[in-house]
Structure 1
Amino acid sequence: MPRLAKELSAIEVKRLKHSGGRGSDMTAVGGVSGLYMQLLPTGGRTWVLRTKVGLKSRDIGLGGYPEVSLAMARERAREAKDKIRQGVDPVEERKAARAALIAAHRRGLTFGDAIGKYAEAKLTNVGDRDRWVSSLERYARPHVGDMLVQDIAVQDVLRVLEPIWTSKTDTATRVRARMEAVLSWATVAGHRTGDNPARWGGNLKELLPVPSKVAKGSNQPALALADAPAWFADLRKREGMGSRALEFLALTAARSGEVRGATWDEIDLKAGLWVIPAARMKMEREHRVPLPAAAVKLLEALPRFEGNPLVFPAARGGQLSDMTLSATMKRMHEAEVEAERKGWLDSRNGRPAVPHGLRSTFRDWAAETGQPRDMAEIALAHNTGSDVERAYRRSDMVERRRAMMAEWAKFLGAV
C-alpha cells in the first residue's frame, strides 16, 4: 500500500521554499493522493496532479499559487480524478474546449472588428468613415467592442446608450443608428442571426425616453450678440487648425461635426459654395452653404495635405475631435477672465459660450436684423414649414442666403 503524504495546512504550504538547486522541487501536500506543489527556481509555484490516465502517467496542471489556493487545488484534483474514473482524460478535454473556443472566435466577429468592416464596405467618403468610426470607437467600443456580434443583446446596447441618452441626446441617437446599421450589416453578412438589438421601433423605444422629450431645454450656451465681433477678432489672433475650424464654423453657422468632417471635394472655391452630402447631415438631406468672401479667403490660405481629403485635419491626419473646438473657446474665455474681464458668456444664463451656441448667436442676429425667418432656418439646416410646404418648396434660397451670410460676416468684422 502506497505511503500517504502528510496533509499540509495552508500556512505550511505558504512557508514552503525551493531547495536552491537548478531544477524544480515537487512537494506532496496530501489531502488528495498525487497532489503536489511544484516550486520553481524562479520563485513561482504551481499545482500539479500526478496520476495515471489509462496506461499513461500524467502530470496535470491545476493552476498557479496563490491564485489557486490549497483548498481549490484539492477540489480540482478530486474533480480530475472523478473524470478519469469516468473514462475522461482531463488534459485532452481541456485541449478540446480551448480549440473549440478559438474556433468559435475565428468564426465569429467582434463588434469592434465589425465597425471597421462595415465602414470599409459601406462608407466610401473618408470624412463620413472617420466620423462614423470615431463616434462608435468612443462610445460603443468600451462597452461591446470585444463582444461577438452574435452575442450582443438589447441590454448590451443599453449599456452603451444610457450614460449619454439624456446628457448627449443627439450624439446618442446617432450612435444608436450607427450600431443598428453595423449589426444589420453583420446579420446579412452571416455573422449573426435574430432581431437587431439596436432597433428603435418596437424595441429600444419601449425602454428609453423619446429623444425629442429629453433634448428639450438643453440649449447650448451661446455667445452674446453684442460680444460676437470682439470674440471673432480675438479668435482670428489665435493659431492652429482648431482655431481656423472654429472661425469657419462661425462664418457659416454650421454644426461642429459638419465642419470637422468637411472634405475638399465638397467645396467649390470659385463658386463660393460648400455642398454637404445628406450622409453627413443631421436631417439626412443635402445642404448647400453659400460661403462669404472671408470664408473663401480662409480656405484658400489653408495647407492641403497629400492623401488627406479633410479640410481641417488633426495633427495626426484624422478628423479633429469636437473637444478641439470646445477647448479653443474655453481657452479664449479663460484668457479673458485672467485679464479680469467677464469672459465670453451667454447673456441669458451666464455660462461660458460653446461652439454649438454660435448657431444661436447667428439666429439672434438674423432676428435682430430682420432677415426672413425661413431663410435663417434654412441656413441652419432646420426643418421649416409643414411636410406639405417642404414637399412643394423647390428652392433653398441659396443666392439670397449668400447675401445674408455676407452681412453676417461683415457684422463679425470678417473683412
Structure 2
Amino acid sequence: MAARPPGRRPQKALTARFVETVTNPGKYFDGNGLFLRVETNGSRRWVQRITIQGKRSEVGLGSPPAISLAVARQRALENKGLVMQGGDPLAVKRQTRQALTFAEAVDIYLASKLNEFKNEKHRKQWRSTLDTYAAPLLGRKDVAEISVQDVLRVLEPIWKQKTETASRLRGRIENVLSWATVAGHRDGDNPARWKGNLSELMPKPNKIARSENQPALAVADIPRWWKELESKKGTASSALRFLTLTAARSGEVRGMTWDEIASDSDQGEVWTIPATRMKNGRPHRVPLPVRAVALLNDLPRLEGSPFVFFAPQGGALSDMSLSAVMRRMQATQERVGKPGYLDPVSKRPAVPHGLRSTFRQWAAERGYPRDMAELALAHWIGSEVERAYQRADMLARRREMMEAWARFLFA
C-alpha cells in the first residue's frame, strides 16, 4: 500500500497485516483522520489529524504493535466524538500525561540506545554534544512543549561555525524527541526534523561548510619532523611515533592493549585491532615493522593496566595527548622564526590524523598498489561485491611496504 498525500482518503482502509509489515517511510491513511506514520529510522506511530476548536491539529495515539489498528481506530473515533461535543482531545491528553523534561528524555533514551554503538568514541560524542549544546536551553523544558523555535535557538549559534557538529546535534535531538513521541510524552510533528521543516529555515550544511582534510605533513618535511619527534620524551611522544610507523588512527593506538600483539613465525609481529575498536567495524591486522617492535620493547609496563600507551592513572591516553605533542613541536619551530610543519595545501599546522594522508601520498609516490595502501589504512576497497571476494589482506606485501616506510622515517 503506497503512502498518500495529506488530506486524501484511501481507496481502502488499512489492514492489520499491512500495519505489521510496512517498512517504507510515509503516511498511510485509514479514516477519521487516522494515519500510520513510518519514519526513516523504522519507527511507527499512530497519528490523528483533526480540527479542534477551529485549529487543525495532530494527536498522537501510540505506536504499533502496542496499539493495534483496532485500538487506534477506536481512539480516533472517540476523539472525533469528543470534538463534536466541543471537547479538546489534546487538552485531555496533557492533563493525564506525566511531564518529562528533555534532560530526562535524553537519559532514558541513551540508557537503551548507547549499547547499539560499537565505538566508544561515538557513545561519548552522543552524550557530549547533547550536554554541551542542547541541555543548557532544552534540558529543563518539557518535551511536549519543545518547538521549532526552541530547536533553532540551539542550532543557529553553531550552524555556520561548527556545521558538522550542529548537523549531528540536530539528528540527535530529533531521535530523542522521536522516542518521546512514540513513548507518549509529546504529540505532533518532530520540531528537529530536517526535510520539509528546518530545511526551510536554515541553509543546507553542504552549502556553508565543505569537509576539509585533516592538515597533513608534506612528505618532504617528514625526515626533519621525525628527527625532532625522536628527541621528545614521554608516553604521548612514543604513541605518536608508533602511530606514524603504523599509519594507524589515534584512537586505535591509544586504546591498544598488549594482548593485541602476537608473533607469527611466518608473518613476524602482528598487531590485530578488534572490530569493536575499528571505524569500519571489522578487525584489522597491522604488520609491525622492526622499528615499531623495537619501540614497543623499550616501553615500560604499568601493573594492572592493559594499555600499551597508558595515562598516568593507568587508563588510556586522552584524545588530546598526541595532538599536544605536535602542537608543542610546531610552537618550537615558530619561536625561532620558522614556519614549522604545515599542510602544503591548507597551510595549517599538521595534526596526528593527517599523518595517514602523508603516508598515503608517500605510498603513491613510491608506486605501491592503491589497494595495498588503502588496506594499510583500513579503508574500504571497491564495491560490496568486490569486498566479498577480496578476503586477503595482503599482510606479507604490506609488511614490505611498512618496512620501507620505516626506513624512510629514519633516513
* TM-score interval, normalised by the smaller of the two chains: 0.5 to 0.7
**2:410 matched residue in structure 1:** 413
**1:333 counterpart = 2:345:** no
TM-score (norm 2): 0.58
Deviation per CA, 1:310-330: give whole Å up to 9, x if none: 433433455434333222211
Q: Structure 1: which 5+ runs fail to align?
A: 1-99
Q: Using the alignment, how far apart are the partners of 1:248 and 1:297 within structure 2?
A: 10
Identity %: 53
**1:244 counterpart = 2:234:** no
Q: Using the alignment, how far apart are the partners of 1:278 and 1:402 within structure 2?
A: 21
Deviation per CA, 1:209-245: give whole Å up to 9, x if none: 8878877461222111111021112112212332222
**1:111 matched residue in structure 2:** 106
Which stretch shifts more, 403-412 or 153-162?
153-162
Aligned length: 306
**Cα distance, 1:276 vs. partner?**
2.9
Distance 1:105 1:269, change over 3 A: same
**1:82 matched residue in structure 2:** none
Deviation per CA, 1:72-113: give whole Å up to 9, x if none: xxxxxxxxxxxxxxxxxxxxxxxxxxxx9xx9679x945257
Which stretch shifts more, 292-301 or 359-368?
292-301
Amino acid in structure 1 at the alignment position of 2:129: Y
Distance 1:277 1:192, change over 3 A: farther
Distance 1:138 1:280, change over 3 A: same
Q: Using the alignment, how far apart are the partners of 1:257 and 1:383 within structure 2?
A: 18
Distance 1:182 1:396, change over 3 A: farther
Work out which of the residue numbers 343, 358, 362 in structure 1 matches 2:359. Answer: 362
Q: Using the alignment, how far apart are the partners of 1:171 and 1:372 within structure 2?
A: 35
SS in 1 for 2:285: strand
SS in 2 for 1:270: strand
SS in 1 for 2:357: helix
Distance 1:252 1:111, change over 3 A: same
CA contact (8 A) 2:246 2:288 kept: yes
**Cα distance, 1:183 vs. partner?**
8.2
Distance 1:241 1:221, change over 3 A: same
Distance 1:248 1:163, change over 3 A: farther
Which residues in structure 2 correspond to 1:128-143 (within 5 Å)? 128-129=119-120, 131-143=121-133
Q: Using the alignment, how far apart are the partners of 1:174 and 1:249 within structure 2?
A: 28
CA contact (8 A) 1:110 1:147 kept: no
Amino acid in structure 2 at the alignment position of 1:134: K
SS in 1 for 2:271: strand
Q: Using the alignment, how far apart are the partners of 2:160 and 2:378 within structure 1?
A: 23
Deviation per CA, 1:159-185: give whole Å up to 9, x if none: 777766776677677777877888899
CA contact (8 A) 2:304 2:314 kept: no
CA contact (8 A) 1:143 1:159 kept: no
RMSD: 4.3
Distance 1:182 1:334, change over 3 A: same
Q: Structure 2: which 5+ runs fail to align?
A: 1-94
**1:267 counterpart = 2:260:** yes
CA contact (8 A) 1:227 1:344 kept: yes
SS in 1 for 2:291: helix
